[in-house]
Copies of this chain bind each other. A is one copy, B any other.
C-alpha cells in the first residue's frame, strides 16, 4: 500500500494492525483481582488510503474495536477491524472505494448502494449483543469474545431508519435502550426517529418527527420521563455534498432547538425549546424531577470542529470553540421560556462521562477530558492532556495528569463493585506515550483521580486515536446472545 499521508507526529501514523496479546504487562500497581469484564473501545484507523484530498480520517476512517478482557488479575488484549459492508468491499478491492465523509456522490460507482458506515464511534452492549455504531448507518454487531463481525443489524427487520445513533442511553431501571436516528431517511434529511428497545433488544417504541433544520445530532438526553433532541446549528444541506463541499457547516445565525418528548411519546407530544446560537455535542448526564429536565453538556460559543467551515466564511476561532461543562434546564411546563444555562466547570473539556448506573437518574459524579487545564492547552487535533473528575454538587474537581508528552482518550467509569456507591470505582483511560510510540491503559481511582494510578497496563504498541468505549461486566457478558 502506498498513499497514506505522513502525519506531523509519527505517533499519529496509521497502524492498521489487528492484534492479540495475552497477559498485558502491568508496569505499575496491581490489577484489582475482582475486576471481571471487558473494556471495549472504538478506535479509528483507515485501512486503505483515501483518494480524497485531506479527507477526515477521524470521522471517516475505518473503525476498529480494541478490547481489554479482565479476569482474576490477568488482562488480555485483542483488536479487530469492524468488517462493515464497506470494509469488506474495500478489502476485496485492496483499495479505498468510498470517498469523502458522508458524501456518497464521491464514491466509486462499484459500491453504489453499499452501506457507507464505518462503525468507528462507539461500542456498547445491550440485550446480549455487542453493538458498534456510527451515526450515519445501522449498527453492526460483533461477537463480544472473538470480535468477529456478525454484520449490520436491523433489529430482526424492525429498524425502519437508515441511521442509528452512536450514543444510545440505557435506562438502569427498566433495562431499556433508548436511541434514535437522524438523517433517518437519508443524508441531510430532517427526519429523526426515536426508538426504545426492551432489555432483550426488541424494539418497543418508534416515533418519527422532523427537526427545524438538518444538523449533526450526535448525542441526546434521556431521563426517566423525557427524551431531548438537541438541534445544534452544525447544519447539512444536500446541495453542499452534491457540490463536493463539507457535509456539515457551522451556521452562526441559527438558534439551538431542544426537541422534548415524554418517554415513549409520539410526534404529537413533541415540543421545541429554543435558545440562542451556541455549540454542544456530548451529554454527560441528564435527569428530571417530573417538571424540570437538567442536561449537562460542554457548551461552546461556536463550532468545536475546525474542519467544518463556517457558512459565513468566518475563520475557526479556537477560543470560542472551547466547550465548558454547563447545565441546561428545561421547564417542561413553559416552552415559551426556552431553556437556561449554568456553567459547572472552569476548565474547557470534552468526552464527558458519568457512572452509567445513574444514566437517566439524578447524579453528581462525572469525569471528562480537559481541553485546557492547570498546565496550559491540550494538543491541537484532539490530543487531550488531562482528565478531570467533577463532583457536581460541590463543584470540586480533581485532575489527572499522565505525565510529559502523553495524551489521554475518553475516560470510562467502571464500578468498584456492583453495589458500590455512585461514582465509586475506577476510571479507565488509554494514555498515549507519544515519545515511546506506545500506549498504556491506566486505571485510576474514580474518587482520587489525582492520586497515583491503581495500575498501569503497558502495551508495546500504539493505540490509535479513538472515540468512545464502555466497560461490560462479565456477568452481563454471560448473557450474550451472539
Q: Interface on A for B, CB 8 Å cutoff?
A: 1-2, 4, 10, 13-27, 47-48, 74, 91, 94, 436-438, 460-462
A19 to B16, CA, bound (A): 10
- B22, B25, B436: the one contacting A437 at CB < 8 Å is B436
Q: Do A14 and B25 touch across chains, with their CB atoms under 8 A apart?
A: yes
Q: Is the CB of B23 within 8 A of A47?
A: yes
- Is B10 in contact with A16, judged by CB distance below 8 angstroms? no
Q: A16 near B74 (CB under 8 angstroms)?
A: no
Q: Tell whether A16 pairs with B22 under 8 Å between CB atoms, given A436-B437, A438-B437, A462-B460.
A: yes
Q: How far is the CA of A94 from the CA of B14 in the complex (A)?
A: 32
- Please indicate the chain B residues that have their CB under 8 angstroms from the CB of A17 in the complex: 17, 19-21, 460-461
Query: Would you give 30 A-B contacts (Cβ < 8 Å), ordered by A?
Result: A1-B23, A1-B25, A1-B26, A1-B74, A2-B26, A2-B27, A4-B25, A10-B436, A13-B460, A14-B25, A14-B460, A16-B21, A16-B22, A16-B23, A17-B17, A17-B19, A17-B21, A17-B461, A18-B19, A18-B20, A18-B21, A19-B20, A22-B47, A23-B47, A23-B94, A437-B438, A460-B461, A460-B462, A461-B461, A461-B462
CA distance A460 to B48 in the complex (A): 14
Cα distance A59–B60 when bound, in Å?
Answer: 45
Task: Look across to chain B and name the residue whose beta carbon is closest to the beta carbon of A24.
Answer: B1
A346 to B391, CA, bound (A): 72
A16→B47 contact, CB < 8 A: no
**Chain B residues, Cβ within 8 Å of A21:** 16-18
The chain B residue sitting closest to A460, CB to CB, is B15
Closest beta carbon of chain B to A88's beta carbon, Å: 12
Q: Which residues of B contact A74 (CB under 8 A)?
A: 1, 94
A437 to chain B, nearest CB (A): 4
Q: Which of B10, B15, B25, B436 interacts with A461 by CB under 8 Å?
A: B15
Q: How far is the CB of A478 from chain B (nearest CB, A)?
A: 21
What residues of chain B lie closer than 8 Å to A19, measured between beta carbons? 17-20
**Residue ID in chain B nearest A461 by CB atoms:** B461
Tell me, in angstroms, the Cα distance from A4 to B21 when the chains sit together. Answer: 15
In the assembled complex, how far is the CB of residue A407 from the closest CB belonging to chain B, in whole angstroms? Answer: 17
Give A13 to B437 CA distance when docked, in angstroms: 12
Apart from A19-B19, A437-B438, 9 more pairs, CB < 8 Å? A1-B26, A1-B74, A13-B460, A17-B17, A18-B19, A18-B21, A19-B20, A23-B94, A461-B462
Q: In the assembly, what is the distance between CA of A23 and CA of B438, in Å?
A: 22
Whole-angstrom CA separation of A462 from B27 in the bound complex: 19
Shortest beta-carbon distance, A433 to chain B, in Å? 10
**CA of A171 to CA of B23 in the docked complex: distance in angstroms?**
43
Docked Cα-Cα span, A436 to B462, in Å, equals: 12
Among A15, A18, A19, A24, which residue has the most Cβ atoms of chain B within 10 A? A19
The chain B residue sitting closest to A436, CB to CB, is B10
| A14 CB contacts on chain B under 8 angstroms | 25, 460
Which B-chain residue is minimally distant from A28 (CB atoms)?
B2
In the complex, what's the smallest C-beta–C-beta distance from A71 to chain B, in angstroms?
A: 10
With a cutoff of 8 Å between Cβ atoms, the chain B residues found around residue A2 in the complex are 25-27
B-side contacts of A26, CB under 8 Å: 1-2
CA distance A10 to B13 in the complex (A): 19
> How distant is A378 from chain B, measured CB to nearest CB, in Å?
24
CA of A20 to CA of B19, assembled, Å? 7
CB distance from A30 to the nearest CB of B (A): 8
Tell me the bound Cα distance from A203 to B437 in angstroms: 48
The reply to whether B18 and A91 contact each other, CB–CB distance below 8 Å, is no
Chain B residues, CB < 8 A from A20: 17-19
| Contact of B1 with A460 in the complex, beta carbons under 8 Å | no
* Contact, CB under 8 Å: B91 / A22: yes
Closest CB pairs A-B (n = 10): A437-B437, A1-B23, A18-B20, A15-B460, A461-B461, A17-B19, A2-B26, A1-B25, A17-B21, A19-B19
Closest to A15 in B: B460
Measured CA separation A462–B459 after assembly (Å):
12
Q: Which of A25, A48, A74 has its CB near the most chain B CB atoms (within 10 A)?
A: A25
Residues of B within 8 A of A437 (CB): 436-438
Closest B residue, CB atoms, query A2: B26
CA distance A94 to B31 in the complex (A): 15
Inter-chain contacts of A48 with B (CB < 8 A): 23
A362 nearest CB across to chain B (Å)? 41
Complexed CA–CA distance, A25 and B16 (Å): 10
Compute how far the CA of A427 lies from the CA of B123 in the bound complex, rounded to whole angstroms: 44
